[in-house]
Amino acid sequence: MTASFDAVIDRRNTNAVKYDKATLKAFFGEENLQPFWVADMEFKAPEPVLEALKKVVDHGIFGYSARPDSYYQAIIDWTRRRFDYEIEKEWIAYTPGIVPAVNYVLQAFCMPGDKVIIQQPVYYPFARSIINNGCQVLDNPLLYQEGRYEIDFEDLEEKAKDPMTTLMILCSPHNPVSRVWTREELTRIGEICLENDVMILADEIHNDVVFSGHRHTFFASISKAFEARTITCTAPSKTFNLAGMQASSIIIADAKIRERFNRVLERNSIGFQNPLSIAATEAAYRDGEAWLEALLEYLEGNIATMKDYLAEHLPEAVLVEPEGTYLAWIDLRAYETDGRLLEKTVVEKGGVALDGGTWFGPSGDGFLRFNFACSRSMLLEGLEGIKKGVMALKG
Ligand SMILES: Cc1ncc(COP(=O)(O)O)c(C=O)c1O
């Protein structure tokens, strides 16, 4: 099973953003880079997904399409089987991506000037969406202690108390620090938010990519009270490498919140979904589980390879223990404290494109985010690139 993950698939000239020369040039100033940035994988989607897509293509008609009951059932069954959480068809709304959903939530529930809590370093489109919708970013910075990230609950309490705070965007599991929040941590977040009447948007896009020894808890599954104040965002995008299909499930149990959210979708005419994405999503959730298990095993092998490589070649680098997501967060401050210089040198001397730590907020300075969802041979090329860049700094 692992053999297919070892295959190197040439993605150049396939319209992949990650490899697109103009995009690389715009972000990194160079176009001939080996890419480890954009969060998609170098692997083909599961065979049942490919078969479902071929069936639609062979039929040859791509007209307006409706989601069948079996589509919803596949999502409901997956959520029950993998997370022990029971959801209902009526709770599930479709949006063409989670970032769009974040924007719709801001439009539905926040007034311009409202404050929205995020936990930096965090997926940077959150801050952009908050600002684009006229709201204010209220950072509850994560605490970095001995190579591990924790939540500063005292600070969170302070920020939730602010009367202007209406929403918290929770990244669970967390990109880029790779934490899979425990049930206890999530419970405390929920209690603080509920006490202060702060709604929660739980972005759980990475919830299926969780490594041995860790378990993802659906935030809304913790209690009926949490469920009633939560909008959960999930998608097959990260799990099955289907990001380009742009299919997300926005799960809302509370009827009033749902109605308000759906009204924004209505105002923007969001509803129809393309026939390929309907087929891919249903097939992935219904028949993709064995593939996912094999993927997780392969990714754990990549984590072991990264650890060995760094221990041997960059012993002062700290790989923040990956608990979930296929994005490694590497602390290189022992080699260089100027984050921008580090990022520039890794590009120019290492020939690799990685998300710079500074992209995720000021606390990301001196870190790099490394996408390790690739073949082992490509992984080693990436690590070599990082080493070359860091060595150039030292030399
Ligand atoms: C936490 C998080 N949310 C959302 C997204 C992107 O979601 P979408 O492509 O569905 O807008 C990503 C992609 O990396 C992510 O890491």
State pLDDT tens for residues 113-136. Answer: 999 999 999 999 999 999 999 999
The mean of the pLDDT values for the chain is 97
Q: What is the pLDDT of residue 365?
A: 95
Encoded tokens for 259: 């109605």
Residue among 94, 99, 124 to mutate when testing ligand 1 (max atoms within 8 A of CB): 99
For ligand 1, atom 7, the nearest C-alpha belongs to 98
Minimum-distance ligand 1 atom for the alpha carbon of 237 = 10
Q: What is the pLDDT of residue 318?
A: 97
Backbone φ/ψ region at 13: left (φ over 0), alpha (ψ -120 to 50), beta: left
- Residue 212 φ/ψ, nearest 5 degrees: -50, 135
Ligand 1 lined by 138 (C-beta under 6 Å): no
Ligand 1 lined by 201 (C-beta under 6 Å): no
| CA distances in angstroms from 135 to 103, 138, 258, listed in the order given | 11, 9, 21
State pLDDT tens for residues 254-285. Answer: 999 999 999 999 999 998 999 999 999 999 99
The single-letter code of the amino acid at 166 is T
| Domains of the chain by residue range | 3-46+289-394, 62-286
Q: Is the pLDDT of residue 394 over 90?
A: no
Which residue bears the tokens 């591990």?
148
Residue 395 pLDDT level (bands cut at 50, 70, 90): low
Residue among 169, 175, 209 to mutate when testing ligand 1 (max atoms within 8 A of CB): 175
Ligand 1 lined by 233 (C-beta under 6 Å): no
State pLDDT tens for residues 136-160. Answer: 999 999 999 989 999 999 999 999 9
Ligand 1 lined by 296 (C-beta under 6 Å): no
Residue among 178, 237, 242, 326 to mutate when testing ligand 1 (max atoms within 8 A of CB): 237
Average pLDDT over residues 155-179: 98
Whether the bond into 362 is cis, omega within 30 of 0: no
Percent of the chain, pLDDT > 90? 97
Minimum-distance ligand 1 atom for the alpha carbon of 123 = 1
Which residue bears the tokens 């999530």?
186
Higher per-residue pLDDT: 395 or 34: 34
Q: Is the pLDDT of residue 2 over 70?
A: no
Backbone φ/ψ region at 151: left (φ over 0), alpha (ψ -120 to 50), beta: beta
**What's domain 62-286's architecture?**
3-Layer(aba) Sandwich (3.40)
Which residue bears the tokens 């919830």?
207
Encoded tokens for 391: 């060595």
The single-letter code of the amino acid at 198 is V
Ligand 1 lined by 247 (C-beta under 6 Å): no
**Cα distance between residue 246 and residue 175, in whole Å:** 19
Torsion of CA 233, 239, 241, 247, to 10 degrees: -30
Whether the bond into 125 is cis, omega within 30 of 0: no
Ligand 1 lined by 276 (C-beta under 6 Å): no
Backbone φ/ψ region at 235: left (φ over 0), alpha (ψ -120 to 50), beta: beta
Q: What is the pLDDT of residue 4?
A: 86
Q: What is the CATH number of domain 3-46+289-394?
A: 3.90.1150.10
Percent of the chain, pLDDT > 70? 99
Average pLDDT over residues 201-218: 98
**Cα distance between residue 216 and residue 209, in whole Å:** 9
Q: How far does residue 205's CA lie from ligand 1's centre (Å)? A: 6
Q: How far does residue 143's CA lie from ligand 1's centre (Å)? A: 23
Average pLDDT over residues 293-300: 98
Q: Is the pLDDT of residue 3 over 80?
A: no
Q: What is the pLDDT of residue 271?
A: 87
Q: What is the pLDDT of residue 1?
A: 45
Average pLDDT over residues 304-326: 98
